Structure 1
Amino acid sequence: MPQLDVDGARLTYDDEGPRDAADVPLVFVHGWTADRHRWDHQMAHFSTRRRVVRLDLRGHGESTGAGVRTIGELARDVLALLDHLEVERCALVGHSMGGMIAQTVALGHAARVERMVLVNSIGRMAYSRGRGLLMAASTLVPFKLFVAANIQRAFAPGYPREEIREHIRASAATPREVVMTLYGAMRAFDVLDRAGEIAVPTLMVHGYHDVQLPVGQMLRMAKAYPDAVVRILDAGHELPLEKPAELTGALDAFLTAKR
Structure 2
Amino acid sequence: MPQLAVDGATLTYDDEGPRDGDLVPLVFVHGWTADRHRWDHPFAHFAERRRVIRLDLRGHGDSDGAGVPTIAALADDVLALLDHLGVERCVLVGHSMGGMIAQTIALAHPTRVERLVLVGSISRMTYSRARGLLMAASTLVPYRLFVAANIQRAFAPGHPREEIRRHIAASAATPREVVMTLYGAMRAFDVLDRVGEIRTPTLIVHGTHDVQLPVAQMLRMATAYPDAVVRLIDAGHELPLEKPREVTRAIDRFLAAA
TM-score, L = length of structure 2: 0.99
Shift of 1:22: 1.8
Q: Secondary structure at the match of 1:193?
A: coil
CA distance in 1: counterparts of 2:227 and 2:26, whole angstroms:
19
1:141-180 aligned at under 5 Å gives the runs: 141-180=141-180
CA distance in 1: counterparts of 2:67 and 2:81, whole angstroms:
18
Is the contact between residue 67 and residue 179 of structure 2 (CA under 8 Å) also seen in structure 1?
no
Is the contact between residue 125 and residue 190 of structure 1 (CA under 8 Å) also seen in structure 2?
yes
- Cα RMSD between the aligned structures? 0.5
Is the contact between residue 210 and residue 236 of structure 1 (CA under 8 Å) also seen in structure 2?
yes
Is the contact between residue 3 and residue 13 of structure 2 (CA under 8 Å) also seen in structure 1?
yes
Shift of 1:112: 0.4
CA distance in 2: counterparts of 1:69 and 1:128, whole angstroms:
23
Q: What is residue 212 of structure 2 aligned with on the other side?
A: 212
CA distance in 2: counterparts of 1:68 and 1:6, whole angstroms:
13
Structure 1 stretches (4+) deviating beyond 2 angstroms? Answer: none
Please say if 1:13 is aligned against 2:1: no
Shift of 1:21: 2.8
Aligned residue type for 2:53? V
Is the contact between residue 207 and residue 235 of structure 1 (CA under 8 Å) also seen in structure 2?
yes
Please say if 1:30 is aligned against 2:38: no
Q: Secondary structure at the match of 1:91?
A: strand
Q: What is residue 229 of structure 2 aligned with on the other side?
A: 229
Q: What is residue 192 of structure 1 aligned with on the other side?
A: 192
CA distance in 2: counterparts of 1:255 and 1:24, whole angstroms:
11
TM-score, L = length of structure 1: 0.99
**Number of matched pairs:** 258
Q: What is residue 70 of structure 1 aligned with on the other side?
A: 70
Shift of 1:158: 0.4
Q: What is residue 117 of structure 1 aligned with on the other side?
A: 117
Is the contact between residue 151 and residue 168 of structure 1 (CA under 8 Å) also seen in structure 2?
yes
Q: Secondary structure at the match of 1:192?
A: coil
Q: What is residue 57 of structure 1 aligned with on the other side?
A: 57
Q: What is residue 91 of structure 2 aligned with on the other side?
A: 91
Q: Which runs of 5+ in 1 are unaligned?
A: none
Is the contact between residue 21 and residue 51 of structure 1 (CA under 8 Å) also seen in structure 2?
no
CA distance in 1: counterparts of 2:195 and 2:133, whole angstroms:
27
Q: Which runs of 5+ in 2 are unaligned?
A: none
CA distance in 1: counterparts of 2:67 and 2:178, whole angstroms:
7
Is the contact between residue 21 and residue 49 of structure 1 (CA under 8 Å) also seen in structure 2?
no
Is the contact between residue 15 and residue 54 of structure 2 (CA under 8 Å) also seen in structure 1?
yes
CA distance in 2: counterparts of 1:32 and 1:248, whole angstroms:
20
Aligned residue type for 2:13? Y
Aligned residue type for 1:243? K
CA distance in 2: counterparts of 1:184 and 1:97, whole angstroms:
12
